[in-house]
Structure 1
Amino acid sequence: MSVKLHIPGVNDMTTETKNTFALNQWYVAALSTELVDQPLARTLLNQAVVLYRDDSGTVWALDDRCCHRALPLSHGTLEGKAIRCGYHGMLYDGTGQCIDVPGQNTIPKRAKVNSYCIEEKDGLVWIWFGDEGQSEPLNSAPDYPVHTSGEYVWGGGVFYYAAPYQLIHDNLLDLSHLGYVHLLTIGGDPNTHMTADMKTTVDGDCVTVVRHMRDSTPPPTYLAAYPFNDKIDRWQEIEFMPSHLRIWTGGVNIGEGHLDDPNRGGFHMRGFHGVTPETESSAHYIWTIATNPQTDSDAILNKVVDQTALTFEEDKVVIEAQYQNMLKFGNEPMVSIHVDAGATHARRIIEKLRTRA
């Protein structure tokens, strides 16, 4: 079956009934660890935003533009609970209101910049992007207790992709590529990945893909982190939401656990994937990986984080090359195969959410 994907820069069709992105959503703006004592500039959904943490620990987000002469506020400095422009010194609080104009007692009524709703929880900073007239969140930002439960140790990072965000969705929803792209880390035998038992379900705006690979050889990352015997039963459980994905992967010695047991033992890797568009053709990929070492937690965590980062570097090369080739070949259709079910459902959900009421 042939499928025609939306390719920014190739087959864009702008109409009055479509938003550029899925709105009325919480998106991941940053890792909490990125916000210390300096402003952070980041373009999110085509909006230039400055994020900063004030002296009480609260995170704020404003348009990255001074209303006086348009210098990015991210070029400025933090003062208490406010940020001061680095050009003429105008000081803005977290609501975007100018509260000080050096050398001038009166503050112009229009001296204000746009602010965004922020929630910080579980080591993640979320930002709300609403449709026109919906600046206030409709719900709370997602929880991610994997980071705070105490059951796992975790680390993470941020990648920048010169490619559309939905290509990252496609990649994460189809883990059959592991056997070809990630041979030296989390891959393994390609045939095992392509013939995995796979079940795809849709519940509202969530897509779940469950893949089981029984009696398989543990890949290098698994062997480096866990004392497996020989062959293992592997699982990959992927949950897609419009702004992020959660992927639980791992393996257990054959005979020591059932893949349908939510409390099974073995080696676990729980990945969080905040896929936030920068523009139609670029994206921020804010990720973490959590694991459950049996011994030597720090060393194994460092190894898992390093090897996970390596796998994402490999994905980045593939996805950016894929996008450049899509631009070269234009509207040439692509053929779908059995491993594309999850990605197909995800694209339908995004398309539905882009449609204005």
Structure 2
Amino acid sequence: MTSGKPFPVNAWYPAAWGNEVDRTLKARTICEQEIVLFRRTDGAVAALEDACWHRLLPLSMGRLAGDQVVCGYHGLVFNASGRCTHMPAQQTINPSACVRAYPVVEKHRLVWVWPGDPALAKEALVPDFHWNDGAEWKGEGGTFYSLKCDWRLVVDNLMDLTHETYVHSDSIGHDAILDTPFEVTHAENTATMTRWMIDIDPPPFWAKQLGRPGKVDRWQIVTFQAPAVVIGDVGVAPAATGAPQGDRSHGVNGAFLAAIAPETETSCHYFWNFVRTFRTDDEDLSRALQRAHVNDGKGVYDQDHVVLEAQQRAINRHPRQPFYNLNIDAGALWARRIIDRMLEQERGPQGSVQAAE
């Protein structure tokens, strides 16, 4: 199964936070496929095509009856496997009456859906997002649903943090990001950008978290996991206390987490979190950090939101591909190459379809 669109379909994508899926019907579009989510009585999550077999009314406009979905138009009933179990005013059920059931896994506090070939949907392929589990790392995130930009622009944004100097100048931006060399490494399905800024003044956000004056060593280690997860290992420690050599015990360590789901060619769902290993029992800090990232248009991710949507509007007005690239784009370019390879595999000359192993 291929889509012909700029997103691989043979992959796990986040569809919702686990605590969002309950005994109601939740509509979501993933890779231009309309899906309805609900939680069964045994606690497991089900995901069905959001269109009744009969007249295509979205099933999300219906209701749950036990573990079955009742269409809100004519009352056809579908079980969690997508099979029709009841048709109004007739005893015989048409054997072709079914809707597609999607593979679904609940892991790392997110509900992941596989929009491609179900035979390739191995749970072992769910991206490593363990930072989000709330064990060693603590934090509360959120979602930009239907962010109005190509999902790959979010990956570009996170893989090149030089934008912090300009977009986030009042919080995490710093000229040292521009002046410090970085390294990009890659494997088959990952790309990592590493930058160490040694003996610098901390930007306002990190100075506040460290809570002591003086120069710092700052790190940014950002890893892309194909096709749509980015993890940023970030933090600061007092200069010359051993952080570059592996001892971060004197500093503060955070991680920004991004799990992205294409919605359409020009919109996406962006699940984000910022987690930390310091003051993990401080719930007030968790809420404060959440507000620092999203807060009525004033947070760090709010600022990215504005830039990304403006960029997409500009692309729509002045389409030209490829973009012009600079040295700072190396991490994003490797991520794009990996995504392109996945797309080529799905659209292979013989129609073969492979999942990322």
**TM-score bracket relative to the smaller structure:** 0.7 to 0.9
Task: Give, in whole Å, the separation in 1 of the partners of 2:250 and 2:34.
Answer: 44
1:137 matched to which residue of 2? 121
Q: Are residues 332 and 243 of structure 1, via their aligned partners in 2, closer, same or farther at CA, if it must alter by over 3 Å?
A: closer
2:301 matched to which residue of 1? 312
TM-score scaled by length of structure 2: 0.88
Map 1:206-245 → 2, pairs under 5 A: 206-241=190-225, 242-245=227-230
Instruction: Compare relative contact order (CA 8 Å, sep 6+) and give the higher one, 1 or 2.
Output: 1
The one-letter amino acid of 1:47's match is: Q
Task: Give, in whole Å, the separation in 1 of the partners of 2:279 and 2:122.
Answer: 41
Question: Quick check: 1:339 aligned with 2:328?
Answer: yes
* C-alpha contact (below 8 Å) 1:156/1:289 kept by paired residues: yes
Residue among 112, 121, 136 paired with 1:151: 136
The one-letter amino acid of 2:324's match is: V
| DSSP 3-state at the match of 2:47 | strand
Q: Are residues 147 and 166 of structure 1, via their aligned partners in 2, closer, same or farther at CA, if it must alter by over 3 Å?
A: closer
Question: Quick check: 1:161 aligned with 2:140?
Answer: no
Q: Identity, % of aligned pairs?
A: 34
1:63 matched to which residue of 2? 49
Task: Give, in whole Å, the separation in 1 of the partners of 2:134 and 2:247.
Answer: 16
Task: Give, in whole Å, the separation in 2 of the partners of 1:25 and 1:91.
Answer: 29
1:283 matched to which residue of 2? 268
Report which stretch shifted further, 168-177 or 26-35. 26-35
Q: What are structure 2's unaligned runs of at least 5 residues? A: 349-357
Question: Quick check: 1:328 aligned with 2:313?
Answer: no
Aligned-pair CA distance for 1:181: 0.4
Q: Are residues 185 and 86 of structure 1, via their aligned partners in 2, closer, same or farther at CA, if it must alter by over 3 Å?
A: farther
Question: Quick check: 1:268 aligned with 2:257?
Answer: no
The one-letter amino acid of 1:65's match is: A
Q: What are structure 1's unaligned runs of at least 5 residues? A: 1-15
Task: Give, in whole Å, the separation in 1 of the partners of 2:262 and 2:280.
Answer: 38
Task: Give, in whole Å, the separation in 2 of the partners of 1:80 and 1:279.
Answer: 32
2:178 matched to which residue of 1? 194
* C-alpha contact (below 8 Å) 1:29/1:44 kept by paired residues: yes
The one-letter amino acid of 1:306's match is: R
Residue among 114, 124, 128 paired with 1:128: 114
* C-alpha contact (below 8 Å) 1:201/1:209 kept by paired residues: yes
Task: Give, in whole Å, the separation in 1 of the partners of 2:280 and 2:155.
Answer: 34
| DSSP 3-state at the match of 1:108 | coil
2:351 matched to which residue of 1? none
Aligned-pair CA distance for 1:250: 1.0
| DSSP 3-state at the match of 2:309 | helix
Task: Give, in whole Å, the separation in 2 of the partners of 1:229 and 1:117.
Answer: 51
Residue among 96, 103, 107 paired with 2:82: 96
Aligned-pair CA distance for 1:107: 2.3
Question: Quick check: 1:72 aligned with 2:58?
Answer: yes
* C-alpha contact (below 8 Å) 2:30/2:115 kept by paired residues: no
The one-letter amino acid of 2:135's match is: G
* C-alpha contact (below 8 Å) 1:45/1:277 kept by paired residues: yes
* C-alpha contact (below 8 Å) 1:25/1:128 kept by paired residues: yes
Aligned length: 338
